[in-house]
Amino acid sequence: MEIVVVENYDEMSDVACSVVEETVKRNPACVLGLATGSTPLGLYERMVRGYREGKVSYKNVKAVNLDEYIGLPSSHPQSYAFFMREHLFSQIDILPENTHIENGMATDEKAECARYNALLDSMPRDLQVLGIGSNGHIAFNEPFTPFGSETHTVALAESTVKDNSRLFERIEDVPRRAFTMGLKNIMDARRILILASGANKANAVYGLVKGEVTTALPASILQKHGNVVLVCDRAAAQKLGDGV
Ligand code: F6R
């Protein structure tokens, strides 16, 4: 795993943006796997800036997102579909039909998982962007999700509901279930860019880099992927020691 430790969130976002932009420049029709949450907001801001400055076009890029809450329509401001449109897709030249996310309102959940797995198989990701949960989850693969998992539905861990409640008016409003890509789907990406910022991610980052590979810390599976770059700030890297 390549590890880049930077001073702060802004520098993490700068490095992340250069990794994404290089991927798109190398292959203007690449497939990007994208994440939501607070972590990639700075990256998306910079991607928008790069597009406006004419540095990069996303006209032929395809995007697939990691996960979506069950029970929220894509028009709901807290849905991940809405988040992606607001923070990225509506501000760059990616075609709406080239953006993909699970349908949170699907009535047949099994069929929706199968549809998404087939889509992922037909569109291998050149680069998968990931954040990491304070408990080491990636996408919504909570601790003890099998490493071989594909797109599935999950009950969110109480710690995740709590972490995500800052974006909702009341904790009761946070959906308790979600669709998520599985760990196998994530591992299928050719390259993985995982971002972490802040002291609350320090334990998870330690487990990701130096811990045992265990389903108790889902991100640890990335140690088995040959092409991962971790970009994290000093606060998130604080438990890694001086050797990195
Ligand atoms: C988001 C996702 C999650 C987040 C993680 C970190 O699509 O899949 O795994 O990456 O919960 O969230 P933030 O970035 O808000 O700390």
3-state secondary structure the chain: CEEEEECCHHHHHHHHHHHHHHHHHHCCCCEEEECCCCCCHHHHHHHHHHHHCCCCCCCCCEEEECEEECCCCCCCCCCHHHHHHHHCHHHCCCCHHHEECCCCCCCCHHHHHHHHHHHHHHCCCCEEEECCCCCCCECCECCCCCCCCCCEEEECCHHHHHHHHHHCCCHHHCCCEEEECCHHHHHCCCCEEEEECCHHHHHHHHHHHCCCCCCCCHHHHHHHCCCEEEEEEHHHHCCCCCCC
Averaged over 114-142, what is the pLDDT? 97
Residue 226 lies in a domain: no
pLDDT band at residue 164, thresholds of 50, 70 and 90? confident
Ranges 16-25, 37-46, 101-110, 158-167: which has the least confidence: 158-167
Mutate to test the pocket of ligand 1, among 13, 32, 66, 82 (most ligand atoms within 8 A of CB): 66
pLDDT band at residue 244, thresholds of 50, 70 and 90? confident
The model's pTM is 0.96
CA distance 9 to 197: 6
Q: What is the pLDDT of residues 106-125, one digit of tens each?
A: 999 999 999 999 999 999 99
Residue 215 tokens read as 């389903």
Residues 6+ apart with CB under 8 A from 35: 65, 66, 129, 130, 131, 139
Residue 134 lies in a domain: yes
pLDDT at 166 over 90: no
Find the residues whose C-beta lies inside 6 A of ligand 1.
35-39, 66-67, 131-133, 137-140
Q: Residue 62 sits in a domain of what CATH number? A: 3.40.50.1360
172: containing domain: 2-196+203-208
Residue 224 lies in a domain: no
Number of domains the chain is built from = 1
Q: Of these residues, 126, 142, 163, 233, which one is catalytic?
A: 142
Q: What is the pLDDT of residues 189-214, one digit of tens each?
A: 999 999 999 999 999 999 999 999 99
CA distance 224 to 230: 14
CA distance 21 to 28: 10
Q: How far is the CA of 191 from the centre of ligand 1 (A)?
A: 18
pLDDT at 167 over 90: no
Residue 236 lies in a domain: no
Atom of ligand 1 nearest to the CA of 197: 16
Residue 234 lies in a domain: no
Confirm whether 67 is a catalytic residue: yes
The pLDDT assigned to 243 comes to 67
The pLDDT assigned to 165 comes to 87
Place of tokens 């599935």: 152
The pLDDT assigned to 2 comes to 98
Residue 231 lies in a domain: no
Averaged over 55-60, what is the pLDDT? 98
The whole-chain average pLDDT of the chain stands at 96
Confirm whether 137 is a catalytic residue: yes
Residues 6+ apart with CB under 8 A from 103: 68, 74, 112, 179
Distances in Å between the Cα of 213 and the Cα atoms of 15, 99, 190, 237 are 27, 32, 20, 18
Residue 23 lies in a domain: yes
Residue 16 lies in a domain: yes
Percent of the chain with pLDDT over 70: 100
CA distance 144 to 39: 23
5-18 in b/e burial notation, b at 16+ Cβ within 10 A?
bbeebebbbebbbe
Q: Whose CA is nearest to atom 1 of ligand 1?
A: 36
Averaged over 224-239, what is the pLDDT? 98
